[in-house]
């Protein structure tokens, strides 16, 4: 389960101050806190009962499919979307009733949103000029921000003279130049090519660590979420499905939705034949029986689903406690590993395994092995048994 001092769900958080509180009010408060947030557009509820606490200096990702509410939540922090109920707190102060320009939020959009007729200096300095910062201080801060995004000396260039990756770096510099309390990133890498996306992931994370800023990142890309985040908030249909570290949400999904959405998962339906002492014997719908780690006894006949990631299988069962035999439907060679699609009793499984010897071909018999604790067990409602 997520660490309660980092990014956690709170059914009814204790109120921690108002907009006019003194500076000391936020000293020990979370950087950002959502308290029972509802957001509706007429009769359509986009977000319901959303509560979340984010530790200062952490990098948190809101992850989910299109329409799940993640961008709506992000925009509500910035003041671009009004909430229908609940409270949003920043450093112990309520901000959902505070004007946008008083929230001290940095925002990086999916589109770069740079002023095409302004040079890099004026684009980055825009927020500082709006805040009436003295000119010598503006020059210093802009130079520092451009150094941080690895684009020193680009002050006089126009956005049209920059690559897509460079424009995104300028957008990031503009968002951090005035030292905001929170940095919001709304799918900022989606317009970049694959190589540039990977490079910018590293750069954004590095800058976030260097500045110590609290960052909230929105994406539907599972790889981005897993590679960049301290904590991931998996959302579905306007509500939270699971919160945890990348390893927690991937290795121990809390629901069938998380297992299926975050990476590829094999979902094997079955029924418990025996359980106790930390394991359950499950008769799969394919007719085969497997042993799965189970933290509590279950009634015989209980309907369950065994969740196994493709990487957990080994080809050639060896000494594995569980063995499944099937027929290769397809095989993809990936250099040091191979991805197999396998028919096992009418059910198609996916295995991603290191290559030892040759890659098996279509129609060949294959045996897969895996350990009891390489799986997660879900109940009939699709929730992890714990």
Q: Which residues of the chain have pLDDT under 50?
A: 1-26
47 shares its domain with 189: yes
Asked if residue 133 is part of any domain, the answer here is no
Domain count, the chain: 2
**b/e for 330-355, b at 16 or more Cβ within 10 A?**
ebeeeeeebbbbbebeebebbbbbee
Picking from 259, 285, 302, the residue at the C-terminal end of a domain is 259
What pLDDT is recorded for position 141?
96
| Parallel, antiparallel or unpaired: strands 214-219 and 59-63 | parallel
What pLDDT is recorded for position 142?
96
249 shares its domain with 295: no
What pLDDT is recorded for position 317?
61
Asked if residue 130 is part of any domain, the answer here is no
293: alpha, beta or left? (left if phi > 0; alpha if psi -120 to 50): beta
Asked if residue 199 is part of any domain, the answer here is yes
Asked if residue 276 is part of any domain, the answer here is yes
Full domain range(s) for residue 78: 7-104+180-259
41 shares its domain with 91: yes
86 shares its domain with 11: yes
CATH number at residue 363: 2.40.50.140
Picking from 209, 235, 259, the residue at the C-terminal end of a domain is 259
Asked if residue 277 is part of any domain, the answer here is yes
Asked if residue 147 is part of any domain, the answer here is no
Contact 123, 161 (CB under 8 A): no
Contact 374, 312 (CB under 8 A): yes
Asked if residue 120 is part of any domain, the answer here is no
What pLDDT is recorded for position 318?
67
294 shares its domain with 355: yes
217 shares its domain with 84: yes
What is the tens place of the pLDDT at every residue in 147-192? 999 999 999 999 999 998 899 999 999 999 999 999 999 999 888 8
251 shares its domain with 318: no
287 shares its domain with 253: no
What pLDDT is recorded for position 321?
85
Picking from 259, 287, 309, the residue at the C-terminal end of a domain is 259
323 shares its domain with 359: yes
How far is the CA of 192 from the CAs of 185, 198, 328, in angstroms? 14, 9, 36
347 shares its domain with 214: no
Asked if residue 141 is part of any domain, the answer here is no
CATH number at residue 100: 3.40.50.300
Length of the chain: 386
200 shares its domain with 306: no
What pLDDT is recorded for position 27?
52
What pLDDT is recorded for position 50?
96
Structure tokens at 272: 């418990």
Q: Which of 186, 177, 237, 243 is nearest to 216 (CA)?
A: 186
280 shares its domain with 218: no
What pLDDT is recorded for position 13?
37
Q: Which residues pair with 308 in a beta bridge?
A: 266, 375
């Amino acid at each position: 389960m997520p660490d309660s001092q980092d990014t956690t769900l709170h059914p009814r958080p204790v109120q921690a101050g108002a907009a006019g509180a003194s500076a000391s009010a936020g000293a020990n408060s979370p950087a950002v806190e959502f308290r029972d947030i509802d957001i509706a557009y007429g009769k359509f509820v986009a977000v319901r009962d959303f509560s979340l606490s984010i530790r200062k200096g952490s990098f948190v990702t809101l992850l989910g499919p299109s329409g799940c509410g993640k961008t709506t939540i992000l925009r509500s922090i910035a003041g671009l979307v009004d909430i229908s109920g609940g409270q949003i707190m920043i450093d112990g102060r309520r901000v959902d009733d505070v004007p946008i320009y008083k929230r001290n939020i940095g925002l990086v959009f999916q589109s770069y949103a740079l002023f095409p007729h302004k040079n890099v200096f004026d684009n980055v300095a825009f927020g500082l000029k709006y805040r009436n910062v003295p000119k010598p201080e503006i020059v210093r801060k802009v130079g520092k921000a451009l150094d941080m995004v690895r684009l020193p000396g680009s002050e006089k260039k126009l956005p049209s003279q920059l690559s897509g990756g460079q424009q995104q770096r300028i957008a990031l510099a503009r968002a951090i130049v005035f030292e905001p309390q929170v940095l919001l990133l709304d799918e900022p890498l989606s317009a970049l090519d694959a190589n540039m996306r990977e490079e910018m992931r590293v750069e954004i994370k590095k800058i976030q660590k260097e500045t110590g800023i609290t960052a909230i990142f929105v994406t539907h890309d599972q790889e981005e979420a897993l590679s960049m985040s301290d904590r991931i908030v998996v959302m579905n249909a306007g509500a939270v499905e699971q919160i945890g570290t990348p390893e927690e949400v991937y290795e121990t999904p809390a629901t069938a939705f998380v297992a299926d959405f975050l990476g590829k998962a094999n979902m094997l339906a079955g029924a418990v034949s025996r359980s106790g002492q930390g394991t359950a014997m499950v008769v799969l719908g394919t007719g085969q029986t497997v042993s799965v780690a189970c933290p509590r006894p279950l009634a015989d006949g209980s309907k369950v689903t065994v969740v196994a990631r493709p990487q957990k299988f080994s080809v050639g069962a060896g000494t594995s406690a569980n063995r499944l035999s099937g027929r290769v439907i397809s095989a993809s060679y990936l250099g040091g590993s191979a991805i197999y699609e396998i028919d096992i009793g009418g059910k198609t499984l996916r295995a991603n395994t290191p290559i030892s010897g040759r890659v098996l071909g279509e129609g060949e018999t294959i045996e897969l092995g895996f350990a009891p604790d390489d799986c997660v067990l879900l109940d009939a409602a699709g929730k992890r048994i714990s």
